[in-house]
A and B are shown apart, each in its own frame.
Chain A
């Protein structure tokens, strides 16, 4: 597992697209936030991992690395886990780059909620949840292009779903407190896209939600990874 991880990490460091994404999250997105608003962050936090994961993990299929790893005797469990971990690390680095860039450019504003531990946990949680989903798609779909399209479309659709659910919740609830307890609200809070949208606009978050979001994200990440591990065991790898 250590060897797999170090191989993945060294490949990550040498990946040009990784540095492009990192620069984008660290420089362009905070600047965009200043001009266009925090919505930009939510979209970038969704689209950048969706673009990066399939290309990074899909290269293992096209280069034959995946087949070599299995042939060398590493269990499928270890391979999946190490690939997911390196993607999670990349996602968290993107998040950290955005936070660093935001602090640099917008000391007085920019981040919608305080730079407190719950908010940091929430953004990290969203990152982790998204990465789990994208890693599942990228490792189960053996064509880089198909995985990329499915990841990007899933990201966009889930994000739009989050917005739509928020609109429906806010339109239907008479009292703001009641709005956060309905089944629709639960669905919206579970979806990483919904969480990202709420974190971006920063308006409708209650204390309870800030605590629940990382738990939901963690739960989603664990569940999705478990499904991915199970499916990966039986996948016919060409």
Chain B
């Protein structure tokens, strides 16, 4: 297992795509901080000394970690199938579980590295330019950090399922990206459904009294009851939903989402491995 991991690590170190994504994360962190600083400088320069680094900058990487991991996982599996490397690994004596786990751990490690790179750049640039985060916010930020890292784990798990079971990186890439697009779109729909207000208020001009009166009517588009619970659960269970919550600071329960993320990883890994175990490797 150790040898598998070091082989994966050696491959990653020379992988152009990995370093390209690291560069993207550095640029993203830089852009986020500079953009926030420029907004302050342009619109509220007198408030700049009291500015603080906030959630939005720290968790900016969450918007892009999904597509980044989809692309990376699809290409990391690379030519292992067609070159016969996978078969060689099994012939040499590694079990299927070891191969699968080594792949998952490598991919998850990559996700964590990308996340840390972005966070480090944000902290390195953000604290001098914007000031450190407020002291009372720090526990919440730490909770969010653990949760977002768990979400990265969940992304890695689900893309590992595709990467290990597809016998070609083109197929894996298409499936990863298309399912990511579908998930993002679904999360979009869930967000708009959950944010529909319960009541709509209408202002009516009463000419007799000469004043505005307000009537509130229930919104027929409001999602309630069992459907709301289901939507809320999906929003918090899907990694795309979690990523969207961290990126937009919509999350009220980072610790609950962390548990969901770990659960999701476990379920994906079990499903992925049960498929991989029976896969006929030519």
How far does the alpha carbon of A188 sit from the alpha carbon of B67 in the complex, in Å? Answer: 24
Chain B CB count within 10 A is highest, among A36, A47, A147, A152, for A152
**Do A149 and B185 have beta carbons less than 8 Å apart?**
no
**Do A58 and B170 have beta carbons less than 8 Å apart?**
yes
Contact pattern, B 73-96, Cβ under 8 Å of A = 1, otherwise 0: 011000000000000000000000
How far does the alpha carbon of A51 sit from the alpha carbon of B175 in the complex, in Å? Answer: 9
Contact pattern, B 167-179, Cβ under 8 Å of A = 1, otherwise 0: 0111111100110
B178 / chain A contacts, CB cutoff of 8 Å: 47, 51, 152
- Take A145-B74, A145-B75, A145-B168 as given contacts and tell me if A152 and B185 are in contact as well, using a CB distance cutoff of 8 Å: no
How far does the alpha carbon of A43 sit from the alpha carbon of B183 in the complex, in Å? Answer: 12
B67, B174, B181, B189: the one within 8 Å of A148 (CB): B174
| Chain B interfacial residues counted at CB < 8 A | 16
Q: Is A121 an interface residue (CB 8 A)?
A: no
A55 / chain B contacts, CB cutoff of 8 Å: 170-171, 174
Q: Is A237 an interface residue (CB 8 A)?
A: no
**Do B181 and A149 have beta carbons less than 8 Å apart?**
no
**Do A153 and B177 have beta carbons less than 8 Å apart?**
yes
By beta carbon, the residue of chain A nearest B71 is: A149
A37 / chain B contacts, CB cutoff of 8 Å: 189
How far does the alpha carbon of A188 sit from the alpha carbon of B79 in the complex, in Å? Answer: 39
The prevalent SS among residues of A at the interface is helix
Q: Is A30 an interface residue (CB 8 A)?
A: no
Q: Is A40 an interface residue (CB 8 A)?
A: yes
**Do A54 and B67 have beta carbons less than 8 Å apart?**
no
Residue pairs across A and B with Cβ atoms less than 8 A apart, 7 shown, are: A39-B189, A145-B75, A145-B169, A149-B71, A152-B174, A153-B177, A156-B181
Residues on B lying within 8 angstroms of A by beta carbon are 67, 71, 74-75, 168-174, 177-178, 181, 185, 189
Residues on A lying within 8 angstroms of B by beta carbon are 36-37, 39-40, 43, 47, 51, 54-55, 58, 143-145, 147-149, 152-153, 156
- Taking A40-B185, A152-B178 as known contacts, 13 extra A-B pairs with beta carbons closer than 8 A to each other, sorted by chain A number, are A37-B189, A43-B181, A55-B171, A145-B75, A145-B169, A145-B170, A145-B172, A145-B173, A147-B170, A148-B173, A148-B177, A153-B71, A153-B177
